[in-house]
Amino acid sequence: MDGEVPVNLKKVLVLAGVALVLFLLITQPEQSAAAVQQVLGWLRQGAESIITFIRSLFGTATPTR
């Protein structure tokens, strides 16, 4: 094999990941929701940073809050 992972192993790993996520959602819903909100906050902050960079790059004014 040239560094290929057998398809069955990939399926098992994906199913294990899904099972873990479902387990955490069911057993710890509040902590799971907080984690998702935190990740979404990071993504939003990253997107805002990229937008600010692009605006600065092209010399457009940034909106004030």
Q: Which residue has the higher pLDDT, 6 or 52?
A: 52
pLDDT per position as a tens digit, 25-62: 999 999 999 999 999 999 999 999 999 999 999 987 65
27-62 b/e (C-beta count within 10 Å ≥ 16 → b):
eeeeeeeeeeeeeeeeeeeeeeeeeeeeeeeeeeee
36 and 29 in contact (C-beta within 8 Å)?
no
